[in-house]
Amino acid sequence: MSGPSAPPPTTGALRALPHARLATDLRAATLRLARRLRQQKADAALSDGLVASLGWVLQAQPLTIGELAEHEGVAPPSMTRAVDKLVEQGLLRRTVDPADRRRVLLETTDAGRDTVLETRRRRDAWLAPRLAALTPDERRTLVEATRILKELTRS
Amino acid sequence: MSGPSAPPPTTGALRALPHARLATDLRAATLRLARRLRQQKADAALSDGLVASLGWVLQAQPLTIGELAEHEGVAPPSMTRAVDKLVEQGLLRRTVDPADRRRVLLETTDAGRDTVLETRRRRDAWLAPRLAALTPDERRTLVEATRILKELTRS
DNA sequence: TATTGTTATACTCTATAACTATA
DNA sequence: TATAGTTATAGAGTATAACAATA
């Protein structure tokens, strides 16, 4: 867009940062797409937070309440409550760590795993037809872009 | 549900949809990046919902409470409360529509506009250095990908 | 003593239902 | 009668502070 030869016709928020135009556009597009994706979930009775927590347990199990709380960016007491709900609904199993009996180890139940997979399936089901409407070149671009986006959040 | 010709070598969530692999990867990468971006905001006292609402008003003003509520995906009473807070903090201005006195028209104040721009600036400030660490080719890919992502959310 | 997790309590955000004002 | 918005009220989610159990 803005080459090195011409001064970019940008306003306030865009000044002073290299690649500011890309940052701005990518930010807007990402937040918008994420918002649409979050609207799709397996169980409407599960909040976004519970869905995200359950998904991370499936991916990182076994893990402790504290570890899960930190990953999800909530305080430990909040995670205790969230885990209580997931356990009540039969989606999560909690066991005391035999090596350190202060710690609680979390794992998904079969139903919990199914819920996570179903949520992912629904989100993909929203996305996949839209991807199918793109050109092969555009899809190749997104494949590469996905790899790059993952890198961005690594640090 | 499964494909008619060859069974794809994928597991649960990936079956039955074309471009499912891309959908899954893109979904994960997008949600993760969005989460990081949302953590950056101008005023820590402003919730994500208030930040998003204020941002949309700046972009779409003047608009009514009902229009804003629908765009943000919340019920009208919730938006009445949210707008009350933004007005109290001097970020939003509400005026009765002279053409239809049931309606309320919302506009940002100067302070509201500044808050939105500052939030965007911070999010970009988080993102831009990471973009600078990429190769020129990778940035070109993201520029094109951003255009495609915008298309995905158009429908 | 330090760490892990829980309980107690309060605040924010959201929703539904009922209401007011205007069309 | 229908629509835009508000008020009343309740439920979910989160936080901080204080506590219990374990290391």
Residue B80 Cα, gap to closest chain A Cα (Å): 21
* CA of A87, C1' of C2: distance in angstroms: 29
Task: Give the C-alpha separation, B2 to A154, whole Å.
Answer: 35
Q: Which residues, listed in sequence order, are joined to residue B96 by a DSSP beta bridge?
A: B104
Looking at residue A39, what is its pLDDT? 72
Looking at residue A11, what is its pLDDT? 47
Looking at residue A155, what is its pLDDT? 67
Amino acid at A75: A
Instruction: Decide if pLDDT at A134 tops 50.
Output: yes
Instruction: Decide if pLDDT at A23 tops 60.
Output: yes
Alpha helices in chain B (DSSP H): 20-38, 48-60, 65-72, 76-88, 110-132, 136-152
B149 alpha carbon, distance to own chain's centre? 13
Helix/strand/coil for B61: coil
Task: Give contacts of A30 with chain B, Cβ < 8 Å.
Answer: 30, 33-34, 37, 149
Instruction: Report helix angle A136-152 to B136-152, nearest 10.
Output: 110
Looking at residue A8, what is its pLDDT? 38
Task: Give contacts of B13 with chain A, Cβ < 8 Å.
Answer: 117, 120-121, 124
Task: Give the C-alpha separation, A84 to A91, whole Å.
Answer: 10
Helix/strand/coil for B64: strand
Q: Which nucleotide is nearest to B82 (CA to C1')?
A: C13
Task: Give contacts of B71 with chain A, Cβ < 8 Å.
Answer: none
Residue A75 Cα, gap to closest chain B Cα (Å): 15
Looking at residue A96, what is its pLDDT? 96
Where chain B has pLDDT below 70, the residues are 1-17, 155
10 Å Cβ neighbour count for B8?
15
Looking at residue B28, what is its pLDDT? 81
Looking at residue B136, what is its pLDDT? 94
Segment A95-116, tens digit of pLDDT: 999 999 999 999 999 999 999 9
* CA of B41, C1' of D15: distance in angstroms: 19
Q: Which residues, listed in sequence order, are joined to residue B135 by a DSSP beta bridge?
A: none
A88 Cβ within 7 A of any nucleic strand D atom = no
Asked if residue A92 lies in contact with residue A80, where contact means CB atoms within 8 angstroms, the answer is no
- Select the more confidently predicted residue: A152 or A5: A152
